[in-house]
Chain A
Amino acid sequence: MELFGLYNYWVYTVLLMIGFYAVIAKPNLIKKLIGLSIFQSAVFLLFITMGKVRGGTAPIFQAGVEDQVFSNPLPQVLILTAIVVGISTTALGLGIVVRIKEEYGSIEEHEIQELDRQ
């Protein structure tokens, strides 16, 4: 299994870059937000991967079971809150996009810039 020891990190990299590509190359604002959430998920994956300990289990003590190996609880705490913060910021982004649509009639980046230049 040593072969796959870095696979999680590779997937993290690829996901991060897929999200990044959507953010920089897609003109559609909603698509950018979806790309941003993929980007976020990639970061979550990185943190949770780092916290895993071989042969470990989730860091919740079980009654009557001694000498368990636990995975690292700290990245889990950070990511748990980050997911909820992520959805809040995404919601704010969606709110802004909807307002842009109401004002400009479009959510395509270049059309908005076109309208701004007039």
Chain B
Amino acid sequence: MTVLFGVFLLTLIVITALAIVQTQHLFVAVILAGIFSLLIAVIFFLLDAADVALTEAAIGAGISTMLFLAALTLTAEYERSGSANRLLALGVVAVTTLIMIYATFDKPRLGDPAAPVQQHVAPWYLEHTPEAIGIPNVVTAVLASFRGYDTLGEVSVILTAGIGVLFLFGAKPRRQSGPQRIAPHEPGRGLRHYLIPRVVGQLLIPFILLFGLYVQFHGDYGPGGGFQAGAIVAAAFILYALLEGEAQILRVLPQRLLTGLIAGGALLYGAVGVAGILLGGSFLDYSVLAANPITGQHIGILLIEAGVGITVTGVLISVFHALAARGSV
């Protein structure tokens, strides 16, 4: 029965994707992309990927929509039609689709336990997580401990992207600087003239932050971890920025602090690795962090998840702020 639900949802996904590509109104495309993201997150959940579904919900449906909208207000709302190579592109796409669908007939069926993917390292991870790491969530164990190098690389990519955006927007001062300094009482800043959303939003922000912390530190036992928590905490601050305007968020989180967060999280991650070397283990080997290897693993995972969360929060808030502040000047 759940297979049928999956098929139904996948069909909806294809319809949504077609509509996204077809519409000329970019706002509509972004709203539909939000729906697309919700659908794909439900699919992930049906396919047993709870952690991924949580990430996709927080990032895809939340942060991504907001970033696209912020960029849209700075660029154009409508796409101009008229592409010279439309037929050629359609031809290429149709042929490739047919070839790829032909290729799928050799793939193992959905959920086949004998498929090659299920044979290699995954059983080892599932078998050794309880004794070597001692936490119930295997995804977190693999992410933070077994494949800690990978995750360090991912954090560096996020760090680099964040620095890139800050450079893009920071290198050149705003064209209309000076008189248009952000005035905190300028009418129409943020949603402040909508009283009810403002009150409810302010009421909710502490709970969202609390939930973000819960996701961060409960990641060992259930779906969660630094990536998801970073996105949720960033969403809470973005809500604050929407309600109170960009000037207010800068007062709460100055750009210097944000830059410090971005670098500090990645540094914390690296420092845990170096601490492993200094204590006589190898890089990112948490077992030496405490007398008992399993306690060491717990400490290591806690620290690096915190590092990931801090970096992700910093990058997402800075990127949003960079886009939104430019729009409101």
Contact = CB atoms under 8 A, between A and B. Distances in A.
Contacts of B82: 27
B162 A83 contact: no
B158 A88 contact: yes
A115 interface: no
Interface of B: 3-4, 6-7, 10-11, 13-14, 17-18, 20-21, 26, 29-30, 33, 36-37, 40, 43-44, 47-52, 55-56, 59-60, 63-64, 67-68, 70-72, 74-76, 79-80, 82-86, 89-90, 92-93, 96-97, 100-101, 104-105, 107, 109-113, 115, 117-118, 121-122, 125-126, 129-130, 136-139, 142-143, 147, 150-151, 154, 157-158, 161-162, 164-165, 168-169, 175, 221-223, 225, 227, 230-231, 312, 315-316, 319, 322-323, 326
B64 A87 contact: yes
Interface string A72-96: 1111111111111111111110111
A98 B165 CA distance: 11
A60 B157 contact: no
Contacts of A2: 109
Nearest to B124: A74
B323 A19 contact: no
Interface residue SS majority, chain B? helix
B33 A34 contact: yes
Given A6-B105, A34-B33, A97 B85 contact: no
Interface residues of A, number: 88
A90 B161 CA distance: 9
Contacts of A57: 48
A52 B97 contact: no
22 contacts: A7-B7, A9-B107, A18-B14, A18-B17, A25-B83, A31-B79, A34-B33, A51-B49, A54-B110, A59-B48, A60-B136, A71-B47, A71-B48, A72-B118, A76-B52, A77-B147, A87-B64, A90-B67, A91-B67, A97-B75, A101-B76, A102-B175
A29 B162 CA distance: 20
Interface of A: 1-2, 4-11, 13-22, 24-31, 33-35, 37-38, 41, 44-45, 48-63, 69-92, 94-99, 101-102, 106-108, 110
B80 A62 contact: no
A57 B66 CA distance: 32
A40 to B, nearest CB: 9
B49 A48 contact: yes
Interface residue SS majority, chain A? helix
B87 to A, nearest CB: 9
A27 B80 contact: yes
B89 A80 contact: no
A80 B143 contact: yes
Contacts of A35: 21
A28 B26 contact: yes
A95 B75 contact: no
Contacts of A44: 40, 44, 52, 56
A81 B227 contact: yes
Contact of B117 (A18, A29, A50, A102): A50
Given A52-B47, A73-B122, 16 more contacts: A5-B109, A5-B112, A7-B7, A8-B47, A18-B21, A24-B92, A29-B75, A48-B47, A50-B117, A77-B150, A80-B51, A84-B230, A87-B60, A91-B162, A94-B70, A101-B74
A17 B93 contact: yes
B161 A17 contact: no
